[in-house]
Structure 1
Amino acid sequence: SLHCTFRPSYPNKLWVEENTFCNAFPFHIVFDEDLKIRQTGVNIQKFLPGLQAREAMLDQWFTIIHPQVTFTIESIRKFINSQFVLKSYKDNHTTLKLRGQMLWMESLGCMLYLCSPKLRSLQELQDVGLHLADLAQHDVTRDLVLLNQQRLAEMELTNQLERKKEELRILSQHLEAEKQKTETLLYAMLPRHIADQLKDGKSVKAGEFEVCTILFSDVVTFTNICAACEPIQIVDMLNSMYSKFDRLTNIHGIYKVETIGDAYMVVGGVPIPTDTHAHRVANFALGMRIAAREVTNPITGKPIQIRVGLHTGPVLAGVVGEKMPRYCLFGDTVNTASRMESHGLPDHIHLSTFTYSEVKDAGFNIQERGQIEVKGKGQMTTYFLLGNPLVSEDSIMGKEVGGPCLYRDDLHSRSK
């Protein structure tokens, strides 16, 4: 076979110049049987200048790390087929580790240690004061350092991507939280289905509603209360009152249009038409009066009193404004409802004739007020809503669990 018949051919003389050899193998060491250094590569001389001395001894400059043998020529020859790792002595400096093979040269009586630095990264190369150019082009250590550097770069890139991914996840959470806040504010300012249209980028057209019931309320002697109290007391009082009113709007399925100072405005039948708009607003008004008695006047310490006015009629409704869009109502019905409130009496619910005609047959307790002069409207026959004997106060306030359904259209929607 080829393996059995092959015999290498050696030159009669070595066709390599001494300088070329020392540059081609910059980290080799040749030493004799007494461990006296006879020859070294150029870069190991650069790292350990003391090796250039004539009487330099190998065991004075290096110790054997692997294999675990004594530093003698006999021990080295015994383990000559092993990889040898040597570590340099260098006072107050970083030591250099070399790894390679030992080759015994019988004719010269010397050992050739053909080695290269034991390094894994550019950082380790820099730590021992060497550069990539100090490693021979053919030295596999060079490829190992570059490969490891590439691996470290890829790991760092992966870590950066993971960090960016985590940052993106956190930003997404914050964005979702801000989106929820924005939607909450939007739904607080606008009816839900209209807010959804704006979110989808659709334009919201104004709509005309043939019939609805509008309610206005205000706090009796509010101006006097403001003059005698600290601002924070006014804010606390209004916040307590409006929180109770807002809860009632959800119970009776009506829409809060706006609040200005102590004035509170709601509408039934807009933006979602319903046949029970007047019944809903009437029951809501009764609930308002009950809720107001739970709010304390900061001057007297007694429950506050409110005036409430209702009117029924047609309105035009639409979204007004871009920076702060509001769902607004327009028409004479709004003005008349406001007049019912301003011409009412403390702790009374004032109804126009049109609202009275909507609720008179629904079981409400209503008292005729008679003819009164209404600013801008002339003589009007109005009424006071006293109560609803068919429904308990707990039902009106939404406190009765499992109670009867207040409105027939709610009952119809429940059965679907």
Structure 2
Amino acid sequence: MSEIEIKVPNIGDFEGVEVIEVLTSEGKIIVKNDPLITIESDKSSVEIPSNHDGKVKSLKIKVGDKVSEGDLILILENKSQTNEVIEKNKEIEKEFKKIKIIKPEIDQTSPNQNKASVIDISSASPKARKFARELGVDITQVVGSEKDGRVVEEDIKKFVSSKPKNNNQIIESEPKKIKNEFEHSDFGEIEIKDIPRVKKLSSTYLTNSWTTIPHVTNHDEADITEMESFRSSLTDIYTGEKIKITPLAFIIKALVASLKKFPSFNSSIDEIETGKMTQKKYYHIGIAVDTPNGLMVPKIRNANNKKISLLSKELRDVSELCRNLKIDKKELFGGSMTITSLGGIGGSFFTPIINYPEVAILGIGKSQKKQIFKDGKFQTRTMLPISLSYDHRIIDGAEAARFNNDLKENIGKNFAYKLAI
């Protein structure tokens, strides 16, 4: 009996890459071409196979190690051509034949998923396994569409998209929980606190939105110089005192005008399988309100019929109701589109998550004065960062860009002076 060292072969551009899976163990009989480890770079994942038969005497590598060409993976006890290896291979073959392959029920809407079933994790490519880990999907539950039930990324996408069916049935199965090797208290003093109820409730809807809707976000800037000048010039005709109108009231009016021009943004998809979407004739704008208990999104109803001053007052009123947890639950549903603003806190662009079952959300950052080249010269202008996330199943990139352009125009000079106060 001799010992054989199995080392990392020439792996091209892979150098100092991480081991993300160890696919064998000490004492295990392996044959040539059996996968031993999976390594992962920034670009892809690769399985390293064995180039000999034998029994694993000792592993020299573990998950998380960084490896390069020539690094030792394991040591084999070489017993090729001996009865032990031959008999073991026969046993493996017999056991494999005993495995009952579970065939999925025929689903006319998903013909590609009826070809085969997943038996174990080895039926998936390293890239697919990585994709499943990132989404928290138990890959053994995914039906493979490739030869011999092999799972590819498209199968995982179909598996995830098939889970949420409606607003009440958000997720049918929990992702596999990963147990940490150490406790937080092993490293210092900690405190266990309850997650606020509002955050626990909203987490379900956020997860559903993120896994159901293919998000795309367009970033742009709106010139609000004239709007801000107009807003700051507002005074009471009787007292001469300044009238305080939040910029958000102007943005609501501008958004409503754009929704009228682009009605697909004022729609919802409850079930994509039906091939139908609900296009709304009302304009109820959701406003994300930051409260001590978590984020809440009340609706400003019929914003198209209200003056700027009334919108500003309603914004203050609903925000106060949310912070005191006195808002009616119904007021958190039935919106056209949502606005979430970080302007009062800071920051510029971000990626807001769509408020399901709406199809778009507008994110507002903190305005800044910038030097902008306009009318043949540089001018100091007040610019507002806007981030528009949209459902790519209904809205394409060109339509989103046109919507942004229209919204910027509405927020700017041509729209601000036409608004009724």
By relative contact order (CA 8 Å, sep 6+), the higher-ranking structure is 2
The structure in which a higher percent of residues are helix is 1
Q: Please, what TM-score do these two structures have when normalized by structure 2?
A: 0.19
Q: Please, what TM-score do these two structures have when normalized by structure 1?
A: 0.19
Structure whose CA Rg is larger: 1
